[in-house]
Structure 1
């Protein structure tokens, strides 16, 4: 089961990262404004400076739910209608929440869903090939780091500052870190080797009290380690960049500069992704939680 979960998570990570990058870039290329306020009442202030088309929340919800459905329906035995219903309900609720908060129009949401559906259909035939790339070459980690960083650093220039570039870097860097972590796990045989065929599991284990307690314990241990790593790497990377570019420490405006924002975000969240997929499981194993 661990092998199946490993492969499903890796596939979701790659698909979601691709979908989110395309969605974020599309916003700054199309430059369609968010709904006017008034008459719309906007309940979120942080991302109000971003453009609206397409809705990346709708894209993420659709990508995550339907990638999970497609990648598990031949590996686990459960009613397909139930899985499809859950995927549709989850995606719909997220889409409706974007309308309720006044952050998107119906067209923004539909655009996000349709773009994601197209990308899933386009990449689906290559999912097996994409999975095999993790172990294709020792140089794979270099590509995993260099290509995403290049894409983030050359993100489309906006007319004014918005958190879109920072958010995109965060998402892509976390995806790169997770992918790198999966490669390390496979290359150094830290997890079971994937098998070419996957027999259907007759039934998904029932949730027991022991399983729930164990899951919550592993979650809390993992979260604590990830938060510590994030804070440590973020502070260290900012100190190095501020010193390199001779910027006053704690200058919030300096963090928005391209040469500072992208590197520190990328290093921080690549470390977070790597920690979540490699060091957290190692800590779980050390503590006897696996």
Structure 2
């Protein structure tokens, strides 16, 4: 009985908004002065034409949202550290970091990272929308991000992804590259910790959300690690691999849990699953064509010296590759969205229609399926054509 009481108290403490607020204050992040916030809200209200004639409830909610945006930073180095760390869990990081591993280091490592990333993120996003546990409340917490505030809290998928990517890269790189393991371990721990703590600093998650996210990722890595080589072989050599790689993620996106309000979780999950599906098909195709662009071995290989020429080559590859990926994203997104809106008889500018599952899932999945294919198949062939290999 005593153990149950202690566990309940620990959960209550770790899930409290007050604990998050104390962490923010200790790091130099404070809510703005109350009079300043009220004055700013009145100024917004007086000049905001959108609020005219709005229902009282919506008007009050808008005022509260405006007042919440104000905060005071007393420790700018810590502020920038955690804001940048939080960005490491966003789309712009994944769409640049993961392909960069493929283009400049080893496609094998990118494949492992993408596979684990997709599994971890799908499990985390679904758990959020099944458990439906709230994020920290304002006040007392200061919130620095608002796009995902309508999402539920537990677990923190930022913490899950950072932990999974850091330690998957560490464990996989041991097979392929010579490096000091102790240094890699320190970097993995530091990166995971920074991203996890950034979720407290930005006010988006409780300590319980973050801890559960880390533990879930550790569990997933522990369960899957003994089977990584078998899964690698099947992914690259099974004739069913490309079919499973597309059909299963697409099915999971359509079967994503329904909510009573719109949330970005389904769309973000579809993006991840689409990218992973595209990469998987691309890696299978490369294997069948015997054009994997992987180091020849024997493994682990030693990294070459970090000269100015090597850095310039990496930068050139990244620039060209990212340009191709962004062009692919914009083109396929533009075409797929218009085709779907035309087929369902809705305007492309209709935001509510674009959020419907029958439009959101296929247009986002197809867009990032194309990105995954281009990343794994096309970009390295372009490098070969222009002399960047």
Q: TM-score, normalised by structure 1?
A: 0.95
The alpha carbon displacement at 1:11 in A equals: 1.1
Give structure 2 stretches of 5+ with no counterpart: 1-101
Tell me whether 31-40 or 185-194 shows the greater mean CA deviation: 185-194
1:75-115 per-position Cα deviation (integer Å, ceiling 9, x unaligned):
32222111110000000000111110000011000000000
Which of 230, 243, 253 is the aligned partner of 2:329? 230
Change (3 A) 1:43 1:279: same
Query: Residues 116-127 of structure 1 correspond to what in structure 2 (within 5 A)?
Result: 116-127=217-228
Q: Which has the higher contact order (CA 8 A, sep 6+)?
A: 1
- Are 2:132 and 2:152, in contact at CA under 8 Å, matched by a contact in 1? yes
- Partner residue in 2 for 1:177: 278
Which of 258, 261, 264 is the aligned partner of 2:363? 264
- Alpha-carbon separation, structure 1, partners of 2:348 and 2:206: 40
1:151-190 per-position Cα deviation (integer Å, ceiling 9, x unaligned):
0011001121110000000111111111111111111222
- Are 2:109 and 2:173, in contact at CA under 8 Å, matched by a contact in 1? yes
Which of 281, 284, 287 is the aligned partner of 2:380? 281
- Partner residue in 2 for 1:43: 144
- Are 2:106 and 2:294, in contact at CA under 8 Å, matched by a contact in 1? no
Change (3 A) 1:189 1:200: closer
Query: Residues 173-252 of structure 1 correspond to what in structure 2 (within 5 A)?
Result: 173-191=274-292, 198-201=298-301, 203-252=302-351
- Alpha-carbon separation, structure 1, partners of 2:299 and 2:146: 48
SS of aligned partner of 2:351: coil
- Partner residue in 1 for 2:96: none
Change (3 A) 1:64 1:101: same
Which of 175, 180, 183 is the aligned partner of 1:82? 183
Q: Is 1:91 aligned to 2:184, yes or no? A: no
The alpha carbon displacement at 1:70 in A equals: 0.7
SS of aligned partner of 1:67: helix
- Alpha-carbon separation, structure 2, partners of 1:143 and 1:75: 27
The alpha carbon displacement at 1:138 in A equals: 2.4
The alpha carbon displacement at 1:132 in A equals: 0.4
- Alpha-carbon separation, structure 2, partners of 1:117 and 1:198: 30
The alignment of Structure 1 onto Structure 2 pairs a total of residues equal to: 288
Q: TM-score, normalised by structure 2?
A: 0.71
SS of aligned partner of 2:106: helix
Change (3 A) 1:132 1:156: same
- Alpha-carbon separation, structure 1, partners of 2:206 and 2:375: 35
- Are 1:3 and 1:192, in contact at CA under 8 Å, matched by a contact in 2? no
SS of aligned partner of 2:232: helix
Which of 190, 203, 210 is the aligned partner of 1:102? 203
- Kindly name which structure, 1 or 2, has the bigger radius of gyration based on alpha carbons: 2
The alpha carbon displacement at 1:206 in A equals: 2.3
Which of 128, 133, 158 is the aligned partner of 1:32? 133
Tell me whether 263-272 or 68-77 shows the greater mean CA deviation: 68-77
SS of aligned partner of 1:253: helix
The alpha carbon displacement at 1:136 in A equals: 2.9
Change (3 A) 1:198 1:55: farther
- Are 2:104 and 2:317, in contact at CA under 8 Å, matched by a contact in 1? no
Change (3 A) 1:221 1:28: same
- Alpha-carbon separation, structure 2, partners of 1:48 and 1:92: 22
